[in-house]
Structure 1
Amino acid sequence: MSATPMLWPRRLPQVGREAIIAEPSPRDSMAAIALAAAVIEARHGERIMASFAADHVIPDAGPFRDAVRTAVEAARTGKVVTIGITPDSPSSAFGYIKAGAGLAEAPGAFAVEAFTEKPDEETATAMLDEGGYSWNAGMFVVSTSVLLAHLSRLQPTLATGVREIAAAWDRPERDQVLARVWPTLTKIAIDHAIAEPVAAEGGVAMVPGDFAWHDVGDFDSLASLLKAGDDGAIRIGRTSPVSLVDADGAVVVGGTKPLAVVGISDAVVVETDEAILVTRRPAAQRVKDVALPQ
């Protein structure tokens, strides 16, 4: 949704430009997903839609497709459906989904008892020991009418706004309406806007995703999928010289000047035309907390 529209014809040439809906500025996930739902309904009537983050790597597509098919059938019962990832460690980097009883009307899907925000490692370990928990990967499958109905009830201003934009999407006044309405939409994630409150009402189901999955949402997770060079450096978009001294696990991204890292394990150095970032892989998720002076 937030990718630059001009890039998409090159990446997905089989997808027509009219199928690309790009948000003009970030308003978190709920506004983007709701706008897509509203445009789908305006064009085609009620449909089952799915939302997946673009920064996930799933090596084996077969089991993933199977989980999506099961989620579609569960969504046809009127549930908001999420695909939960089978945990392989007590990670504190992800939220968790607590599964309840199986759904008789949708075999392979389970009622969701609760969502848990990212816990500390001790709590995550206790969850895995208890069993019945999956990682929350932010994958949702739901009927457009069900999603928009929940939104109208829980976030009415947001629902009204996306419907107004959707009504103008295929008309000449699209840009004018988008520029006027989009900045006023509530900035909120789908987890907080829909998933958590609807789960408390018994309206959310979960399909277990028992497949290899990588969230490449930070430099540490991205580096874990790449191979280090002969000098030990993990390079991303960089050909300039790198020298490491007691700096195992270093990740270097971009840049044209020679770089030396001394005595810092798991270092991350990112150079762009606008700024330079220096951090360590264990702190990679804190990049979003940075506020540079203007």
Structure 2
Amino acid sequence: MLLPVIMAGGTGSRLWPMSRELHPKQFLRLHSLHSMLQETVKRLDGVDVSEPVVICNEEHRFMVAEQLRQINKLSKNIILEPVGRNTAPAIALAALNTVAQGHDPIMLVLAADHIINDVEIFHEAILAAMPYAADRSLVTFGIVPTGPETGYGYIQRGAPCAAGSSAAAVRRFVEKPDLAVAQGYVESGEYYWNSGMFMFRAQRYLEELEKFRPDILDACKRSLNNNESDKNFISVDKASFASCPDESIDYAVMENTRDAVVIPLDAGWSDVGSWSALWEVSKKDVSGNAVTGDTFLHDAHNCYINTDEKLIAAVGVDNLVIVNTKDAVLVVDKSRVQDVKKIVEFLKKNDRSEYRRHREIYRPWGRCDIVVAEKRFNVNRIMVNPGEAISLQMHHHRTEHWVVLSGTARVTTGEQTFLLTENQSTFIPIGVIHRLENPGNILLEVIEIQSGSYLGEDDIIRIEDHYGRC
């Protein structure tokens, strides 16, 4: 049985404004009704696999847990990285964790932010790779190139592993080439795009990592020796993991091992590295437009348009990307989408919140939409999931007024606890301990009005919390 190991780190800044630092592209619904992380897990339906292990940043832990819960795949299977250290250490954490439990599974390492349109061919490639992984090879999946792409690394195919087999030894890995070199790679027929997907036994990976990068392995071992766990998460020691070198699996292991095998994959793959890449893999109308949301188009061609709430009307435009979220609008020529990163750099340099978070923020108990944000008052739409609760807390500088829109709220203020239903409200004075809970079976929606001299997050004094945030 395979152990899927899904790497869900990264910020995805090239897909701003939908992708933000606290809500990157792997958690967005960009290509289907599910997020890219959920699609990565569901893509394995029909293959004999165990529950997946997901590796993510600590800041994303509750979002990952909620998305796995929605597809019934949450089972103490989330490893938290306190800082990002690239793919070699991340995979080492997963391998060490499963070996410590007395197992040595074949690990299928996947990224959470890829699109694969032909799932059947993907499954065939997985099955083709398994005998080689079981026989101590380290397998990578090479994407059959559709053109001279300069944004990917390449893998050169060596001798076939067996007569008539599509699997081959890896001759070499090469860096992202310029256009002329990439053209030569494609014309030779010997090169694949480097997909960043792998398969090998857990213990075999650790053996090769110890041979080539023992410093990475030692740091990961120390990190797990001092780890903490709860019902959903496996946390690692921050100081130990922060001392680990930042290295990709390609540099640390795959370029050095003599046992690398490449399996070709031609299944409509994309790493969705830009808005133009997403347009290429999206369904289009007769005019070549890929459209999501409420739109009106007249004489528009070859555009990618995605709107969160508002109507987008476009007339007489060609080759544009138009993306609307609750707090930002992007308009860029499809040939210039690589420059979106300049917007993110500007926002970050000027300390603007739009690079880091959306107006709607996910919390472990649900989510909060900041409808109005002024200097002395905020209006928030709070949505608390069934059975969940915000922390027991108080504020030194602000009052709060809660109005129930739908569902039932259990409210604690000071020594009192009482229920509120639709259209009922309560007032929380400065300095009073309070909590909002959802005891019901449907979503609780509340309008919260905050008012005071200071409304910052650091005025939340948590006294008790179900999610370990005190």
Q: TM-score under structure 1 normalisation?
A: 0.80
Matching residue of 1:249: 302
Task: Find the partner of 1:216 among 254, 266, 272.
Answer: 272
Following TM superposition, by how much is the alpha carbon of 1:137 offset from its aligned partner in structure 2, in angstroms? 0.9
Return the alpha-carbon distance in structure 2 between the equivalents of residues 262 and 29 of structure 1.
Answer: 44
The residue correspondences of 1:110-259 to structure 2 (distance < 5 A) are: 110-169=168-227, 171=229, 177-198=236-257, 202-228=258-284, 234-236=290-292, 238-239=293-294, 248-254=301-307, 256=309
Of 21-30 and 77-86, deviating more is 21-30
Q: Cα deviation per residue 1:44-88 (whole Å; 9 max; x = unaligned)?
A: 332211111222222332322222122221122322210112223
CA contact (8 A) 1:84 1:207 kept: yes
CA shift, 1:99, in A, is 0.6
Residue in structure 1 matched with residue 333 of structure 2 by the alignment: 280
> Displacement, 1:113?
0.7
What does 1:36-115 correspond to in 2, within 5 Å? 36-104=94-162, 108-115=166-173
Match of 1:267 among 320, 331, 334: 320
CA distance in 2, matches of 1:57, 1:284: 19
CA contact (8 A) 1:42 1:167 kept: no
The alignment partner of 1:27 has SS state of coil
Q: C-alpha distance in 1, partners of 2:223/2:70?
A: 26
Counterpart CA distance in 1 for 2:305 and 2:108 is 35
Question: Structure 2 unaligned runs (5+)?
Answer: 1-54, 352-470
Q: Deviations over 1:154-200 (max 9, x none)?
A: 3333212222333455657x8774333333332222222222233xx
Residue type at the aligned position of 2:239: R
Identity across matched positions, percent:
30
Amino acid at match of 1:157: D
Q: Distance in 2 between matches of 1:258 and 1:16?
A: 36
Return the alpha-carbon distance in structure 2 between the equivalents of residues 40 and 252 of structure 1. Answer: 43
Q: Which residue identity lines up with residue 117 of structure 1 in the other structure?
A: E
Aligned to 2:88: 30
User: Which shifted more, 95-104 or 273-282?
Assistant: 273-282
**Contact 1:235–1:251 (CA<8 Å) still a contact in 2?**
yes
The CA deviation at 1:9 is 3.0
Greater CA drift, 223-232 or 91-100: 223-232
Q: When you count helix as a share of all residues, which structure comes out higher?
A: 1
- Amino acid paired to 1:206: V
| TM-score for the superposition, normalised by structure 2 | 0.53
Structure 1 runs not aligned, ≥5 long = none
What's the CA shift for 1:273?
A: 5.2
- Equivalent residues of 1:233, 1:244 under 8 A apart: no
CA distance in 2, matches of 1:27, 1:279: 32
What is the rounded CA distance, in whole Å, between the counterparts of 2:322 and 2:246 in structure 1? 31
Note the alpha carbon deviations across 1:190-247, whole angstroms, 9 max, x for none: 222222233xxx23111122433233232112122334568975334x43x56677x6
Take 2:203 and 2:249, find their aligned partners in 1: how far apart are those partners? 15
* SS of residue matched to 2:255: helix
In 2 relative to 1, CA 78–121 (structure 1 residues): closer, same or farther, beyond 3 Å? same
Is the contact between residue 113 and residue 271 of structure 2 (CA under 8 Å) also seen in structure 1? yes
Q: Which amino acid aligns with 2:79?
A: I
Residue 429 of structure 2 is matched in structure 1 by none
User: 2: distance between equivalents of 1:50 and 1:257?
Assistant: 41
- Decide whether aligned partners of structure 1 residues 84 and 232 sit closer, same or farther in structure 2, where only a CA change above 3 A counts: closer
Larger Rg: 2
| Amino acid of the structure 2 residue aligned with 1:83 | F
Give the AA of the match of 2:191.
Y
Aligned length: 286
